[in-house]
Amino acid sequence: MRPIRFSVLAFFAVIVGLLVCLSGLGDCMARELPSIEVQKLDSEIKAKKAPFILDVREPFEVADGKIEGAVSIPLGELPARLDELPKDQDIVVYCRSGRRSGRAVSFLLDNGFTRVQNLSGGMSAWLATHSCDPKNLTC
């Protein structure tokens, strides 16, 4: 009887895992997302070829500084604000570490945006090579 009980529990565990995966709450179907390194983004900005830069952090995080020229749309607001993003321009998305921006990139790709990249390492990586202007908090 014990092996059957284990099999039933294992079956339900697999079903729950699939439901979490398909609901979008898990990272079970991770895909390779297009990304850009800090140095490449920095050189594009300096060459006046900056892409549209999207900051998906929360307002309290943005208050500590953001990449100059970035537009702030918290990740939770992104679905309702897609019309604010250009479909005909490169978009670089960032957050603190790259995890939320990875979700944003995936969401944008699923919604018809084709020129989207995740900033590798997020704001943490950016701040490793840049400092923020204390007057306007741009970095």
pLDDT in tens, 85-123: 999 999 999 999 999 999 999 999 999 999 999 999 999
- Looking at residue 134, its pLDDT comes to 66
Reduced to 3 states (helix: H, G, I; strand: E, B; else coil), residue 124 is helix
66 closest CA partner among 1, 119, 2? 119
Whether residues 47 and 57 share a domain: the answer is yes
Whether residues 74 and 113 share a domain: the answer is yes
What mean pLDDT do residues 43-51 have?
Answer: 94
Whether residues 100 and 63 share a domain: the answer is yes
Q: What does the pLDDT look like over 51-76, one tens digit per residue?
A: 999 999 999 999 888 999 999 999 99
CA 123, CA 121: separation in Å to the nearest integer?
Answer: 7
Tell me the residue range of the domain where 46 lies.
31-127
- Looking at residue 120, its pLDDT comes to 96
95 catalytically annotated: yes
Whether residues 50 and 109 share a domain: the answer is yes
Assigned domain for 78 exists? yes
Reduced to 3 states (helix: H, G, I; strand: E, B; else coil), residue 76 is helix
CATH number for position 93: 3.40.250.10
Buried b (16+ CB within 10 A) or exposed e, 94-115: bbbebebbbbbbbbbeeeebeb
Query: How many domains is the chain partitioned into structurally?
Result: 2
Assigned domain for 134 exists? no
User: Between 8 and 62, whose confidence is greater?
Assistant: 62
CA 100 vs. chain centroid, Å, equals 4
Whether residues 48 and 111 share a domain: the answer is yes
From 28, 95, 132, 139, active-site residue: 95
Whether residues 47 and 111 share a domain: the answer is yes
Whether residues 26 and 55 share a domain: the answer is no
41 closest CA partner among 2, 70, 64, 20? 70
Assigned domain for 136 exists? no
Assigned domain for 138 exists? no
